[in-house]
Amino acid sequence: MKTVGFIGTGVMGKSMARHLMEAGHPVHVYTRTKAKALDLIEDGAVWQDDAARLTQQSDVVITMVGYPQDVEGVYLGENGIIANANTGTFLIDMTTSDPLLAEKIYQAAAAKGLHSLDAPVSGGDVGAINAKLAIMVGGTPSDFEAMLPIFELMGENIVLQGPPGAGQHTKMANQVAIASNMIGVTEAIMYAKKAGLDPVRVLKSISTGAAGSWSLSNLAPRMIKNDTDPGFYIKHFIKDMKIALTNAKKMNLITPGLALSLELYEELAEKGLEDRGTQALIAWYNGE
């Protein structure tokens, strides 16, 4: 069993690392806030004090951190992953990040005899807990095949999308779709309420019809209950939408739905809701 180093044990990363442990992989963990990894450590994960020490002990290094600058720092910094990895190590960034950065990391890794894949995920905390994440991969076919058994422990819909950076571009397409969808889901709930309907009963009818979506089935019930606990943080969704918008502009693509969604979520962040789940969009419609 390959030794896996896992960096970033937050809302999703913790469950992903646990699945690897349950399958029998020795897992080393590092995260900026050690408290977030304590239960994994209690269950047998090995704590490392920094990314360098973790990398030196690992056959595979998986990262699930917050922002592109975090990805760049942990991979390309002087004490980062690439500088400390043993030849032949597999590096898998599962953070949603910039496609160009994924290409840059691949090139730097290849120059040192390392294997790099960008593999962002979709499915939120529920998908991570149940090992049902969609995993979108960019990299070479041989590296993808070598790491497929690892991916299969964390997700179900696992697709090699193309060369380095393709996984991140696919995730951007995913986030573009979600951005407008979240507006539609929220407005549907608000419409039902204003019409005097029971939104829970309305969901029973519309979630399996043409309007059905993951967000409608999984996030709309949380909206109705005013449950804003994060399965996916607003601050991270804002980050993703900005990356997608930047890349869309480079491709001369106009995305008004994406732009509107970003505007609404930025207003929520300004009101102090950046650490709530994306379903907290309903707070904007409620005037909170």
Please report which confidence band the pLDDT of residue 189 belongs to, taking 50, 70 and 90 as the band edges.
very high
Angle of helix 234-250 relative to helix 256-270, nearest 10 degrees, comes to: 150
Which tens digits make up the pLDDT trace of 127-165?
999 999 999 999 999 999 999 999 999 999 999 999 999
Give the pLDDT confidence score for residue 260 in this predicted structure: 98
Known catalytic residue at 194 = no
Q: Which band of pLDDT confidence, cut at 50, 70 and 90, is reported for residue 78?
A: confident
pLDDT at 14 over 90: yes
Running DSSP on this structure, what letter comes out for residue 86? P
Q: What is the pLDDT of residues 238-284, one digit of tens each?
A: 999 999 999 999 999 999 999 999 999 999 999 999 999 999 999 99
The Cα 58–Cα 99 span in angstroms is 25
82 has pLDDT over 90: yes
Is beta strand 121-122 parallel, antiparallel or unpaired with respect to 115-118? unpaired
Which listed residue (14, 104, 171, 239) is catalytic? 171
Choices 3.30.830.10, 3.30.70.260, 1.10.1040.10, 1.10.3720.10: CATH for 169-285: 1.10.1040.10
Q: Start-end ranges of CATH 1.10.1040.10 in the chain?
A: 169-285
With the CA atoms of 217, 211, 204 and 129 taken in that order, what torsion angle do they form, in degrees rounded to the nearest 10?
Answer: -10
List every span in the chain annotated with CATH 3.40.50.720.
Answer: 4-163
Q: For residues 178 and 215, is the Cβ–Cβ distance under 8 A?
A: yes
Own/partner contacts of 54-58, CB < 8 Å, gap of 24 or more, are 54/5, 54/7, 54/28, 54/29, 54/30, 55/5, 55/80, 55/81, 55/84, 55/85, 55/89, 56/84, 56/85, 56/86, 57/3, 57/5, 57/28, 58/3, 58/4, 58/5, 58/28, 58/85, 58/89
pLDDT of res. 288: 78
Could you tell me if 138 and 105 are in contact, meaning their C-beta atoms sit under 8 angstroms apart? Answer: no
Task: Using pLDDT thresholds of 50, 70 and 90, give the confidence band for residue 11.
Answer: confident
Token output for 262? 């970003």
- Asked if CATH classification 3.40.50.720 holds for the domain at 4-163, the reply, yes or no, is yes
Residue among 114, 156, 120 nearest 137 (CA): 120
Which residues lie below 8 Å from residue 275, measured CB to CB, with a gap of 6+? 230, 233, 234, 235
- Mean per-residue pLDDT, 190-208: 97
Contact call for residues 280 and 288 (beta carbons, < 8 A): no
Task: Give this prediction's pTM.
Answer: 0.93
